Structures are given as C-alpha cells and as structure tokens.
Amino acid sequence: MKMFIFGLGYSAQHIARAFPGDVVGTTRSAEKQEKLAKKGFAVELFDGEINPDVAAHLCEATHLVISASPSEAGDPVLPALGDLKSTCPRLQWVGYLSTVGVYGDFDGAWISEDTPPTPVSKRGKWRVDAETAWAAACKKARVDFAIFRLAGIYGPGRSTFEKLRNGKSRRIIKPGQVFNRIHVVDIAQIVCAAAQKRATGVFNGADHEPAPPQTVIEYAAQLANLPLPPEEPFEAADMTPMARSFYGDNKRCGNARLKKDLGVTLKFPTYREGLESILTQMSG
C-alpha cells in the first residue's frame, strides 16, 4: 500500500504516522517542506501544479487522501490531476477530509451520516461542491471513495490548554449551543481503517458527547488548575466573521458507521478522556 496525501497539515501528519504502508505528502512552501522533512516525513511541493516528482509518486499510489481545503475557486487538487485513471493508474481508494459544517444548522438535534448536507456558510458550500466533484471523478475512474466529515479537531499542541495558558481562551455563552469534537489520534485511526478496508460513503469523525464550548473550557481549566476566562454573551462578543460562523450551526453528530462499518472504537470517546490524555503528555 502506498498512500499519497495532498496537504500534510496537523491531521494528515497523524494519518501518515499511523498508516501501515509508505506515505508521501505535499506542502506548498520549501520552508514547510524542510520542517516536515526534519520530522521524518517524505514531502513534495505542490501548489496547484503537478511536478515530475509528484507525478512519479502518483503513478505508484494505491491510496489518496485529500486534506487540502477548497476555496471559491473550487478544489485545489482535482483540476491538477486531470483524468484520475491516467494520472494514478494503481489507485484503489480516495479519502476526502471534509467537515461536519456541511450539514448546516439543526438547532441542536441529532444528525447521522445519512443526513443530506444543507450548508449555511460559504465554506460549507465550497466543501459540498468539492465532495461532489471528487465523488464524480472517483465514480468515473471506478475507484472506491470515502468522505470523512470531521468535527472540531483537537489534540496535543492544539487544545484548550494552550489557549488557557496564553490567555487566548474565550468563554462565549450561547444558550443551547453544542459542538462535537474529534481527537486527532482518532482521525488517524478512522482514516487508516477505512483506507485498509477500502470503505466507501460518508463517515462522521465525531466523538460521542457533543457539549457546550464553555463546559469544555471549564473542565480543562479545572484539570490544569488554570484561571477561567470571564463569561461573554454570544450576542455582545467581539468576534471575527469566521469565529462567529462556527456558532451558526448547532447539531449533535451521530457516528454509528465508525463502529458498524470500520470496527473502530474511539480512543477518546469524549472531550474528558482527550483532555486528560493531552495534559498527561504535557506534564510528562
């Protein structure tokens, strides 16, 4: 098995380390390439055009993971690949990292992998367009295709503790608002399990306990013995349009397919186990 990952960011690095075959990833700058190489990753440059080195790896790739975000211009990878079957002749499976933001707002109700996307934000719409384009390309190439709709991603180096310690944590209160989260280690095990099984369809990468954001902050502060930031009512809070947009959809994400179709048991089923593990690593 040879995996090629477009966009070797935070989640993709964990996928690369967990995958049991060879993995090559991409980044957009020589500076990032050097940093990733020092961490032990095989990395090529890609910024919209396939160079000969990337082309050589794609010829050998059996598994492709797309971890590059779309923009108003569309998906940044698919146009560069052209005909999937010609560019990646050995390809068996493609995994696309998306977001639960594509579902839109359900006023706190439960949704499942069968819920049709009804995005409310521009970014959500771009994601649905990219999912659709990849599904069509994979169908044409007769390649298995899976979509991973990920909840709020957290893990070592990217958690509530860092924000609490550097004074950037904000306790925004919007009554009734809940979010799911997903630990980066669980993202890696979900994607790797799906890749090995060549699983198809939609998988919600979400934990078992959607919770209000302030509850998570309060738990983290208590665990680490850190001061709590003051409460801020959502209506009056000074937030960027992007930060405010996260509160525009409110839902509880079901994840039944993880166990049923992938046989995956989450290592961090709720934010509590996840935060406890991160704090232990930080203390060690």
Distance separating the N- and C-terminal Cα atoms of the chain: 35
Is 141:92 a contact under the CB 8 Å cutoff?
no
Alpha carbon 239 to chain centroid distance? 23
Phi, psi of 183 (to 5 degrees): -75, 140
Taking CB atoms within 8 Å and a gap of at least 24, the contacts of 67-72 are 67/5, 67/6, 67/7, 67/8, 67/9, 67/11, 67/12, 67/15, 67/97, 68/6, 68/7, 69/7, 69/123, 69/126, 70/126, 70/127, 70/129, 70/130, 71/126, 72/122, 72/126
Please report, as a single letter, which amino acid is at residue 118.
T
Question: Which CATH superfamily includes the segment(s) 2-211+242-283?
Answer: NAD(P)-binding Rossmann-like Domain (3.40.50.720)
Tokens at 215, concatenated:
């509850």
Is the confidence at residue 284, as pLDDT, over 80? Answer: no
Instruction: Report the percent of the chain where pLDDT is more than 70.
Output: 100
Instruction: Report the percent of the chain where pLDDT is more than 90.
Output: 95
What was the pLDDT predicted at 242? Answer: 83
Residue 214 binned pLDDT confidence (cut-offs 50, 70, 90):
very high
Average pLDDT of 240-251? 88
What was the pLDDT predicted at 149? Answer: 98
Average pLDDT of 123-143? 97
| pLDDT tens, position by position, 82-109 | 999 999 999 999 999 999 999 999 999 9
Is the confidence at residue 283, as pLDDT, over 90? Answer: no
Is the confidence at residue 27, as pLDDT, over 90? Answer: yes
Helix (H, G, I), strand (E, B) or coil at 119: coil
| pLDDT tens, position by position, 31-60 | 999 999 999 999 999 999 999 999 999 999
What was the pLDDT predicted at 241? Answer: 86
Full DSSP string of 205-234: E--S--B-HHHHHHHHHHHHT-PPPPEEEG
Average pLDDT of 3-23? 98
Phi, psi of 33 (to 5 degrees): -60, -45
Tokens at 98, concatenated:
């998306």
Nearest to 162 by CA among 93, 220, 236: 220
| Domain range list for the chain | 2-211+242-283
- All residues at 6 or more sequence positions from 71 whose CB lies less than 8 Å from its CB, including other chains: 126
Average pLDDT of 172-187? 97
What was the pLDDT predicted at 74? Answer: 94
Full DSSP string of 87-117: H-TT--EEEEEEEGGGG---TT-EE-TTSPP
Tokens at 115, concatenated:
């819920």
Average pLDDT of 110-122? 95
Average pLDDT of 141-152? 98
Alpha carbon 66 to chain centroid distance? 10
Is the confidence at residue 160, as pLDDT, over 90? Answer: yes
- Taking each helix axis as running N to C, give the angle between helix 213-224 and helix 271-283, from 0 to 180 degrees, rounded to the nearest 10: 30
What was the pLDDT predicted at 244? Answer: 86
